[in-house]
């Protein structure tokens, strides 16, 4: 299991009429959480696409909204890779506000495909980067 | 059970580098599906907030991405209210592309609150509008 | 000169904490206005990219926010092509609310490039579709 | 004149089918540039709204797209307040990529209003915070 935290401040344009972070905008925060978690162990997602021709489209996504996130709050996005990837990779994320109260829980599962949309298994360089943590 | 369909065309700004509708942008399509489904039985969500002081924040959301949605495709958003609301209201949505292929399945559960963030039950005017379908 | 109107309803996720359509979200409405204006004279922008390898990135954009657009308002996006395109194509847009009050004025200028990012002139098929209106 | 720089990394969900940061998403970057520039001299925009009942809606916005911004690039948003605010406040912004090449130039003018949408002049606490730089 590997866990990494990154911080994101809620932008004005991401709030909605209710005054809170719009429920659909969490998906970008989860994306940033995943990308920075991978970067922290040397996996640059941009290179996966541009150099290795491996793409990770989201296959499943489930989330519970625990309390609202307010404008200008600096949220902590805690992302966990709970198990070694194979045909899919899972990311479990908890989002906390500045008082370390739980804001959101999410589980996102991504597939591996190449540029021709053919399904792949987790590439070797990813497995090697992750292996020390499992 | 009550089902209603509305159509949304994928905007350029909603696609991502992969060339498809970004996974986080489906949430807005589901929102439009819910709002138009309510409008079709005389429930104007804007009035619920502005006139009745009832707000519907999303509590749970789960979704499966079945196939990608492309730029400029005219998607059909088929929204079902599967049961009478009580402390929550559920919306089950299927999104189809122009070939009537399934693109996405989603289940969204919303709570009822007032402007002071106090939890409510489904308001009478909503129950009355929905009752004929259950 | 060629003018065409299309309608867009303001989504909840497009509003911000101030309760109005976020200033950055007008750009998508302008995009839809351009795309539907082109479609109305037989120019499918998706085909321009996919079939003709012609892309139209935005080069300049200026806009004046006259009055706020509210959640759930059905806006009218009136898009004008003021002159024949050459190395650029211009779109002048006025956005009106349901009371036909002016909400926003915008001028957007786009360049023509191919997939290798080389600058092009307006393609023949576009010139032919537009010529009758000038 | 007061200038401040902040950095923003381009998110996947902010790119479009062309593979670059969507032209409409720059507005959020400019917003973050403004907010962080104000924060750097002790002006918390969230407090302006929540404590002082002063809101800054955008009135005018003009921008030139010089070169595309790519996914995962860490952009530098250089925001300048060129003159003391009065009935409006102006922000001039230049966005640079990691090679310090110019990506975008923008000028945004915001008005001052209160919660009743009445026009105000620049509040005293803002004038005092800015005065040392002019």
Burial C32-50 (b: 16+ CB within 10 A, else e): bbbbbbbbeeebebbebbe
Residue A90 banded pLDDT, cuts 50, 70, 90: very high
Find all residues with CB under 8 Å of A87, minimum gap 6, and list them: A111, A112, A119, A121, A122
Let me know: does D70 contact D100? Beta carbons within 8 Å. no
Chains with ≥3 CB–CB distances under 8 Å to D: A, B, C
On whether any CB of chain D is under 8 Å from the CB of B25, the answer is yes
What is the mean pLDDT of the segment spanning C38-58?
Answer: 97
On whether any CB of chain B is under 8 Å from the CB of A131, the answer is no
On whether any CB of chain B is under 8 Å from the CB of A78, the answer is no
Chains with ≥3 CB–CB distances under 8 Å to C: A, B, D
Superfamily of domain B2-133 in the CATH hierarchy: Hotdog Thioesterase (3.10.129.10)
> Residue C108: beta bridge partners?
C61, C91
Which residues of chain D does B72 touch, with a Cβ-Cβ cutoff of 8 Å? none
Inter-chain contact A35–D72, Cβ cutoff 8 Å? yes
Nearest-neighbour CA in chain C from B24: distance (Å): 11
Token output for B31: 């929102």
Return d(Cα D117, Cα B115) in angstroms, integer.
Answer: 21
The pLDDT tens digits for C101-134 are: 999 999 999 999 999 999 999 999 999 999 999 9
On whether any CB of chain D is under 8 Å from the CB of C53, the answer is no
The pLDDT tens digits for B25-35 are: 999 999 999 99
Residue C14 banded pLDDT, cuts 50, 70, 90: very high
The pLDDT tens digits for A33-67 are: 999 999 999 999 999 999 999 999 999 999 999 99
Torsion of CA D104, D107, D111, D115, to 10 degrees: 0
What is the mean pLDDT of the segment spanning C65-74?
Answer: 98
What is the mean pLDDT of the segment spanning A96-110?
Answer: 98
- Which of A11, A14, A16 is best to mutate for the C interface (most C CBs within 10 A)? A16
Measured in whole angstroms, the distance separating CA C6 from the mean position of its chain's CA atoms is 10
Inter-chain contact A17–B59, Cβ cutoff 8 Å? no
> Residue D64: beta bridge partners?
C60, D105
Inter-chain contact A44–D72, Cβ cutoff 8 Å? yes
Would you state the pLDDT for residue D123? 97
On whether any CB of chain D is under 8 Å from the CB of B42, the answer is no
Inter-chain contact D60–C55, Cβ cutoff 8 Å? no
Nearest CA in chain D to C27: D24
Nearest CA in chain C to D110: C65
Measured in whole angstroms, the distance separating CA B95 from the mean position of its chain's CA atoms is 11
What is the mean pLDDT of the segment spanning A100-127?
Answer: 97
On whether any CB of chain D is under 8 Å from the CB of B12, the answer is yes
On whether any CB of chain C is under 8 Å from the CB of A22, the answer is yes
Find all residues with CB under 8 Å of D59, minimum gap 6, and list them: C64, C65, D88, D109, D110, D111
Would you state the pLDDT for residue D54? 97
Of A9, A46, A71, the CB nearest to D71: A46
On whether any CB of chain C is under 8 Å from the CB of D60, the answer is yes
Let me know: does C12 contact B31? Beta carbons within 8 Å. yes
Mean pLDDT computed over every residue of chain C: 97
Nearest-neighbour CA in chain A from D88: distance (Å): 19
pTM for the model stands at 0.97
Inter-chain contact D15–B13, Cβ cutoff 8 Å? no
Which residues of chain B does A59 touch, with a Cβ-Cβ cutoff of 8 Å? 64-65
Q: What share of chain B is helix, strand, coil (3-state, %, to 5)?
A: 25, 40, 35
The pLDDT tens digits for D70-91 are: 999 999 999 999 999 999 999 9
The pLDDT tens digits for B92-109 are: 999 999 999 999 999 999
Would you state the pLDDT for residue B77? 98
Nearest CA in chain C to D107: C62
Residue B130 banded pLDDT, cuts 50, 70, 90: very high
What is the mean pLDDT of the segment spanning C70-93?
Answer: 98
Domain extents for chain C?
A: 2-133
Inter-chain contact C12–B35, Cβ cutoff 8 Å? yes
Nearest-neighbour CA in chain B from D57: distance (Å): 22
Would you state the pLDDT for residue D111? 98
Inter-chain contact B59–A49, Cβ cutoff 8 Å? no
Bridge-based pairing state of the strands B102-114 and B58-65: antiparallel
Return d(Cα C49, Cα D22) in angstroms, integer.
Answer: 16
What is the mean pLDDT of the segment spanning B31-54?
Answer: 97
Inter-chain contact B23–A27, Cβ cutoff 8 Å? yes
Of B13, B24, B71, the CB nearest to D24: B13
Let me know: does A89 contact A56? Beta carbons within 8 Å. yes
Chains with ≥3 CB–CB distances under 8 Å to A: B, C, D
3 state SS of A67: coil
Would you state the pLDDT for residue A117? 92
Residue D101 banded pLDDT, cuts 50, 70, 90: very high
Let me know: does C14 contact C94? Beta carbons within 8 Å. no
Terminal CA-to-CA distance of chain B, rounded, Å? 5
The pLDDT tens digits for B62-74 are: 999 999 999 999 9
């Amino acid at each position: 299991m590997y866990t990494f935290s990154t911080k994101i401040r809620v932008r004005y344009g991401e709030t909605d009429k209710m005054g809170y972070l719009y429920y659909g905008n969490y998906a970008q925060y989860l994306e940033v959480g995943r990308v920075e978690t991978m970067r922290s162990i040397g996996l640059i997602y941009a290179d996966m696409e541009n150099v290795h021709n491996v793409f990770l489209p989201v296959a499943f996504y489930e989330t519970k909204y625990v309390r609202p996130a307010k404008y200008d709050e600096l949220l902590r996005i805690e992302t966990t890779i709970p198990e070694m990837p194979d045909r899919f990779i899972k990311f479990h994320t908890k989002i906390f506000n500045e008082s370390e109260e739980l804001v959101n829980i999410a589980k996102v599962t991504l597939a591996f495909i190449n540029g021709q949309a053919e399904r792949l298994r987790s590439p070797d360089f990813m497995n090697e980067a992750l292996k020390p943590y499992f």
